[in-house]
Amino acid sequence: MNLLKFFCVALVVVITGCANLDKTASAPDTTDPSRTVRVDQPAIGVSPHVAIIPTGPLRPITAAQAQSGAVTLQLPPADLWERIRRGFAMPDLQGDLVRDREQWYATRPDYIQRMTERSSKYLFHIVEELEVRGMPTELALLPYIESAFNPQAVSSAKAAGMWQFMPATGTYFDLRQNIFRDDRRDVLASTKAALDYLQKLYNMFGDWHLALAAYNWGEGSVGRAIARNQKAGLPTGYTDLNMPAETRLYVPKLQAVKNIVATPQQFNAELPLIENHPYFQSVEIVRDIDVALAAQLADITLDDFRALNPSTNKQVILAAGTPQILLPWDNALVFRRNLEAYSQGQYASWGAWTVPTTMTVAAAAQRVGMTETDLRSVNNIPPRMLIKAGSALIVPRSAKMGDVAGHLADNAYLSLAPEAVTRKAVVKAGRKDTVASIARRYRLNADLVADWNDVKASATFRPGEAVTLFLPVRATTRAATRATARASTRAAAPQAKARATAAPAKRAVRRR
């Protein structure tokens, strides 16, 4: 009888526990994303290693079911590597190419160490996004292949960021690229775009290996390769297609990294501990702020700040274009408190200025109160270049200058043109000559003529006044040629007249 009572009490405890677990599963603690109850009961088409959150109410179980292990509760792992292993869902690729890449990585432990340590800032976020979408967690390892998890990486083909987006592909997936920021490097934006793209490719080809080949080679190229094999009556799997060497090695590289992560001891690899919780959190900014000040207020180094906010191209973050920054989890609160207490003036010492007309760097520097050297350095302007009208420049922020507007923060560009080699020339102004009339005569910009002579663009010159111009070498040469021709003509005129006078006498002599 006592035994029966004990069993009933135990059953009530189990049922109560299941009810509590059901509440936890339906309303997880959002303050700690890792605290989730998971059940090893895979859905259709998902690897049995993937932990699935149950839906609907939990029903009581019998003691026999509990003893049989039909239902197993699995706690989330403390190590992110183990969480990644549990989410592996892609079919394994075998072959010599995989073994060759395994050997390559295994013989470079220092490289693996640097690469995995760099990834520790980003992996948790990527794994979270993959699990929300129900995608294989092998894809979290793809940036190892693309960029060694370096968000500042740029390929010879101009692909950028840890997911290596080409400019056109980045634009297609709404990744802004302008003088202030490059979202192909942004941790959140580029990860979303990459997973969107991979999902799109998987839906097109129905195979993860082909989707990865298309990510590397292009969906059109993979589609044409499949069509060629279909026409020839050949198989159309990843290993059956004729593709470039880089794409042929692409999936074997990922498989090799997957194998090392799965069993690092087999390859004498040591993976650094990456805890299964967020490394960073987003912090909203509502005012433009200098990058250096943001790092200072967060109490982190400038390098650490840029590692989490690699899309920033300049010294200032524009709130209209980048309304949030990423900070290490514990430093986010530090930043908020220090920002509220900050009372040393404006947050941003840099602003933006739109160039009204095409001008030299020297002229632009004079307009904004900078030296030519500083203006070139801040805006990365090479020598012997003109700044074209409509370009945006980073300049010191004046007291009258407000935060940069959204349209400029999103669409700012810098357009340059080769600066013609010039020579200084001094001409004399004629009657009623103005800055505008001389500029038209010599095909120059009126603002430049005014700057060269330290007058207003509407100024009128006195007759005979010396006007300084900088003429293109070709124009100078043509002018010199014309001047030489006129001088030669003037010098030759008396001789021609003398010849004309002497000609009758000569003819008369000949007639004699």
CB 352 within 8 A of CB 368: no
pLDDT of residue 123: 98
Residue 459 and residue 335 share a domain: no
Helix H, strand E, coil C: the string for 98-116 is HHHHHHHHHCCHHHHHHHH
- Residue 275 domain-assigned (yes or no): no
Banded pLDDT at 37 (limits 50, 70, 90): very low
Name the percent of the chain lying above pLDDT 90: 71
Residue 442 and residue 361 share a domain: no
CB 298 within 8 A of CB 327: yes
Q: Residue 184 corresponds to which tokens in the numbers above?
A: 């192909």
**Taking residues 106-112, what's their average pLDDT?**
94
Residue 108 pLDDT > 50: yes
Name the active-site residue from 102, 131, 138, 146: 146
Distance between start and end Cα atoms, the chain: 165
- Residue 479 domain-assigned (yes or no): yes
Helix H, strand E, coil C: the string for 247-290 is HHHHHHHHHHHHHHHHCHHHHCCCCCCCECCCCEEEEECCCCEE
pLDDT of residue 398: 87
Backbone angles phi, psi at 65, to 5 degrees: -65, -40
Residue 300 pLDDT > 70: yes
pLDDT of residue 494: 53
Residue 464 and residue 441 share a domain: yes
- Residue 274 domain-assigned (yes or no): no
Residue 234 and residue 157 share a domain: yes
Residue 250 and residue 117 share a domain: yes
CB 447 within 8 A of CB 386: no
Which domain does 296 fall in, by range? 280-341
Residue 318 and residue 184 share a domain: no
Banded pLDDT at 95 (limits 50, 70, 90): very high
Residue 90 and residue 66 share a domain: no
Banded pLDDT at 492 (limits 50, 70, 90): low
- Residue 273 domain-assigned (yes or no): no
How confident is the model over 334-346, as pLDDT tens digits? 999 999 999 888 8
- Residue 240 domain-assigned (yes or no): yes
Distances (CA, A) of 447 to 98, 248, 267, 455, 482: 64, 58, 68, 9, 27
pLDDT of residue 75: 76
Measured from the Cβ of residue 35, the count of other Cβ atoms closer than 10 Å reads 13
pLDDT of residue 140: 98
Query: Of 60, 76, 92, which residue sits at a domain end?
Result: 76
pLDDT of residue 302: 97
Adjacent-strand bridge partners of 327: 281
Out of 21-30, 386-395, 423-432, least confident range:
21-30
Query: Of 21, 52, 76, which residue sits at a domain end?
Result: 76
| Those residues with Cβ within 8 angstroms of residue 159's Cβ, 6 or more apart along the chain or in another chain | 165, 166, 184
Residue 13 pLDDT > 60: no
Distances (CA, A) of 314 to 29, 180, 364: 38, 6, 19
- Residue 115 domain-assigned (yes or no): yes
Query: Of 267, 289, 311, which residue sits at a domain end?
Result: 267
Residue 146 among the catalytic residues: yes
Residue 191 and residue 214 share a domain: yes
- In the chain, the number of structural domains is 5
Backbone angles phi, psi at 282, to 5 degrees: -85, 140
**Higher-scoring residue by pLDDT: 492, 222:** 222
Helix axis angle, 291-298 to 329-341, nearest 10°? 110
Residue 215 and residue 104 share a domain: yes
Alpha carbons 143 and 162: distance in angstroms, whole number: 6
**Taking residues 164-180, what's their average pLDDT?**
97
Banded pLDDT at 45 (limits 50, 70, 90): very low
**Taking residues 211-240, what's their average pLDDT?**
97
Name the percent of the chain lying above pLDDT 70: 78
**Taking residues 245-251, what's their average pLDDT?**
97
Say which CATH number the domain at 146 has. Answer: 1.10.530.10
Residue 457 pLDDT > 80: yes
Say which CATH number the domain at 376 has. Answer: 3.10.350
pLDDT of residue 76: 79
Residue 124 pLDDT > 50: yes
Residue 157 and residue 174 share a domain: yes
pLDDT of residue 203: 98
**Taking residues 364-371, what's their average pLDDT?**
95
Residue 39 and residue 185 share a domain: no
Pair type for strands 350-354 and 392-396 = antiparallel
pLDDT of residue 18: 43
Q: Residue 166 corresponds to which tokens in the numbers above?
A: 């080409």
Say which CATH number the domain at 460 has. Answer: 3.10.350.10
Residue 230 pLDDT > 70: yes
- Residue 509 domain-assigned (yes or no): yes
Give the CA-trace dihedral at 95, 255, 267, 117, to 10 degrees: 160
Report the chain's mean pLDDT, rounded to a whole number: 84
Banded pLDDT at 141 (limits 50, 70, 90): very high
Residue 6 pLDDT > 90: no
Banded pLDDT at 63 (limits 50, 70, 90): low
Residue 466 and residue 432 share a domain: yes
Q: Note if the pTM is more than 0.85.
A: no
CB 128 within 8 A of CB 33: yes
Q: Map residue 395 onto helix, strand or coil.
A: strand
Residue 297 pLDDT > 90: yes
- Residue 272 domain-assigned (yes or no): no
How confident is the model over 17-29, as pLDDT tens digits? 444 434 333 333 4
